Structure 1
Amino acid sequence: MRIAMVSEHASPLAALGGPDAGGQNVYVARLTEELARRGHDVTVYTRRDSARLPDRVPLQGGGVVEHVSAGPAKPVPKDELLPYMPGFGTVLARAWERERPDVVHAHFWMSGMAAQIGAHEQGVPVVQTFHALGTVKRRHQGRRDTSPHDRVGIERQIGRSCARVLATCGDEVHELAEMGVPPGRVSVVPCGVDAERFHPGAHSAGVPERRERHRLLACGRLVPRKGYDKAIRALTRVPDTELLIAGGPEPGQLDADPEAARLRRLAERAGLGDRVRLLGAVDPDHMPGLMRGCDLVLCTPVYEPFGIVPLEAMACGVPVVATDVGGHRDTVADGHTGRRVPAGDPWAIAAAVRELLADEPLRRRMGAAGRERALARYTWQRVADGVEQVYQQVLTGHRVSEEVA
């Protein structure tokens, strides 16, 4: 099968941890590699954000990345990319006229816009994964939402006109239904985790020396919605425990990062300056060991479209305390692989953490259950199985509709 992935701002080649580099990048990279490993011809189209980038870059695990010239060849915040999507779509149309893909898989709403422009003339079916929805972002960020005004309307149109929406969790199906996208047009296939890299025996090279009896870890992009401030406040009620926060810019650049500065001020004011450590960007090779070296992983966002971090922790055999939002509702089995707590409530976080830290046998059982759950449901092989099925269903339906026409 010839598969075109469109991921306008989230390149599988990008370094993780920046403002616009996170779970979507991982999803596109790992899914591409797994599909390529199965013999599919996979090309990822992403926006050129540097004049020095080559036109084509083979991915180590299989597949190829093509850099599309659309807008200035420099980094542009994703919320400012909308004006360049028609041009992006025109480039795709020319490429697919020369070599038609069997199916297009668009990632994020602007990718969907470009993909539908590119696929229209050739009649290629488009599968859409939103990764995040504008309705959710607007609800939680209000006036701080920097998304283009037209985002929700465009997402609604894409959801109704694409061949299939591939959602990553059940919560997204309900959100799409509220937008007018019938659940019958939506398939659910979760994100995945590399269970061979994230495992209970992960080597602890590069892990900071422990200062307290217990260690908590929070990781991801260094942005306010991740709720690290709630984790810091929770720590005021959890004695003999330290909190590591991994993510954001390189360690030497943390002093210039506004969110890092805000979190450090909060920790100092709470008297936690010696128990909260911001690590900045962590070498991906060190992340499994960093997770394995902590007692609990905290996932505290106020909203989360899916959230890969809980899967990585579970694959490492570490219990998770996660907010009861988005994909966490599917991945974290409350009382079995960790605890889910109300979003925005640091005292609920603290209570769950104290409960688990006080019971080491319970943590071991939860860790083992998390590993078992990750292997049973969330490996990239399982994810690729589901995505392949969706592609085949779309292609079968597309051929039938062409024959009827």
Structure 2
Amino acid sequence: MRIGISCYPTIGGSGAVATELGKALARRGHQVHFIVTDVPFRLGEFHQNIYLHEADTMTYPVLRTPPHDFTLAALMADVILQYNLEILHVHYALPFAVSAFLAREMLPGHPVRVVTTLHGTDVTVLAQDKSLYRVIQLGLTKSDVVTAVSHSLARQTHELFHIDTPIQCVHNFIDPNVFHPAATDLRECFARPGERILLHISNFRKVKRVLDLIQVFHLVNQRIPSRLLLVGEGPELSAARELVSGLGLEGRVHFLGKQDEVAELYRASDLFLLVSEKESFGLVALEAMASGLPVVGTTAGGIPEVVADGETGLLAPVGDISRLAELAMRLLTDEALHRRMGEAGRARAIQRFCLEDKVAEYERLYEQALCQGKAT
């Protein structure tokens, strides 16, 4: 198949999933065209069967802001026509599904089919803006196939937009050959012998509740000598630094900034923390599980679909800092429980969220979309 993929190029679950999906499709012999505003952060070096098309947005004094979405739509139309794409798989309703709709309107009669994957923010955050509600709704209803990365997100989308469009759940995935347990010397860079390492990776938005996480770590560290690794950047970074300073944790918390390659950090850690108030899936929790790392998290959104509470990690209600700290200390002090949950997490990641299985699911959806197009 000839497949176009559009996604955000920045660090985040949606960009990582879209990029890894494209690479896997290319390895399976499909021709894959990334139609983006910048090179996706996990694409990097040359890959056979992958083509990169970057939108070059013009500026004009009359326009208050550059017309990024229109430029993207025009590029989509050009690539669809030039390479006779069969599938255009867009990740996020806004702007990508809407831009795909505009691109197809530019090419009346072209049989390209649009598959939209929802990753969360376009539903859980952007849809709260009344000025964007109908635009997002348009992108969803004009797509040929809509998927969501969790059952929770699919239900929430139907409830918010009151649409008849079926939304199929295709969970996110990991490559177990990339994320796996292994010994590493990296621990020595952060912790002394006997100290435990807790890890968190996110974009530091308010919904990630990084300040809660630091409070959890503070309680844990009072009982168990520990270090906290914080990976990523975002709006809450300054507040997080201030709280760390206020609690006297400067020597215990390491701000590592944005990191493209994080597999080694999972291997160096003892526990992964994800205390979000909204989480459509929780890809970082899955990566931790695949690395043999137990997870302590909240029951928000799709997290319980990833982390089997009591089997691969321990979950608590959003905002329950003392309970989250208690669960973390339980895992850090019970070696048998820690080992059992780490092994169960690795097994669950391979059995239910393996890359090749999910790529095959998407291939079936592409075929379904093409068959629907021929039938009409």
Spell out, residue by residue over 1:255-307, the C-alpha distance to the aligned partner (whole angstroms, 9 max, x if none): xx8633321221222233332222223461xx223212222100122212222
Q: Is contact 2:279–2:300 with CA below 8 Å preserved after alignment?
A: yes
Distance 2:188 2:132 in 1: 41
Match of 2:51 in 1: 64
Any residues of structure 2 matched to 1:99-178 within 5 Å, and which?
Answer: 99-109=83-93, 110-120=95-105, 121=108, 122-137=110-125, 150-178=131-159
Distance 1:275 1:57 in 2: 33
| SS across alignment from 1:244 | strand
Match of 1:39 in 2: 29
Distance 2:166 2:46 in 1: 32
Return the match for 1:28 from 18, 43, 47: 18
The question of 1:248 aligning with 2:236 is answered no
Identify if the C-alpha distance between structure 1 residues 224 and 386 changes in structure 2 by more than 3 Å, giving closer, same or farther.
Answer: same
Which runs of 5 or more structure 1 residues have no equivalent in the other structure? 12-19, 50-55, 74-79, 143-147, 250-256
Spell out, residue by residue over 1:67-103, the C-alpha distance to the aligned partner (whole angstroms, 9 max, x if none): 1223559xxxxxx87x431232123223322332111
Spell out, residue by residue over 1:130-183, the C-alpha distance to the aligned partner (whole angstroms, 9 max, x if none): 2124441269xx8xxxxx75332222122222111011100111112111133x
Q: Is contact 1:260–1:278 with CA below 8 Å preserved after alignment?
A: no
Any residues of structure 2 matched to 1:313-324 within 5 Å, and which?
Answer: 313-324=288-299
Output the TM-score relative to the length of structure 2: 0.88
The question of 1:391 aligning with 2:366 is answered yes
Distance 1:41 1:258 in 2: 38
Match of 2:178 in 1: 197
Spell out, residue by residue over 1:167-212, the C-alpha distance to the aligned partner (whole angstroms, 9 max, x if none): 1100111112111133x61111111112111111153447623146
Q: Is contact 1:57–1:65 with CA below 8 Å preserved after alignment?
A: no
In the alignment, residue 333 of structure 2 is paired with which amino acid? A
Which runs of 5 or more structure 2 residues have no equivalent in the other structure? none
Return the match for 1:237 from 219, 231, 244: 219
In the alignment, residue 84 of structure 2 is paired with which amino acid? R
Output the TM-score relative to the length of structure 1: 0.82
Spell out, residue by residue over 1:365-400, the C-alpha distance to the aligned partner (whole angstroms, 9 max, x if none): 000000001111112111101111111111111111
Return the match for 1:271 from 248, 252, 274: 248
| SS across alignment from 2:236 | helix
Identify if the C-alpha distance between structure 1 residues 232 and 318 changes in structure 2 by more than 3 Å, giving closer, same or farther.
Answer: same
Distance 1:58 1:291 in 2: 24
Distance 1:367 1:377 in 2: 15
| SS across alignment from 1:273 | coil
In the alignment, residue 155 of structure 1 is paired with which amino acid? I
Distance 1:240 1:295 in 2: 12
Q: Is contact 2:147–2:169 with CA below 8 Å preserved after alignment?
A: yes
| SS across alignment from 1:105 | strand
Once the two structures are aligned, what percentage of the paired residues are identical? 28
Return the match for 2:348 from 350, 353, 373: 373
Distance 1:173 1:200 in 2: 32
Across the two proteins, how many residue pairs are aligned to each other? 361
The question of 1:352 aligning with 2:346 is answered no
User: Offset of 1:241 from its aligned partner?
Assistant: 3.5
Distance 2:346 2:287 in 1: 9
Match of 1:252 in 2: none
Identify if the C-alpha distance between structure 1 residues 191 and 59 changes in structure 2 by more than 3 Å, giving closer, same or farther.
Answer: farther
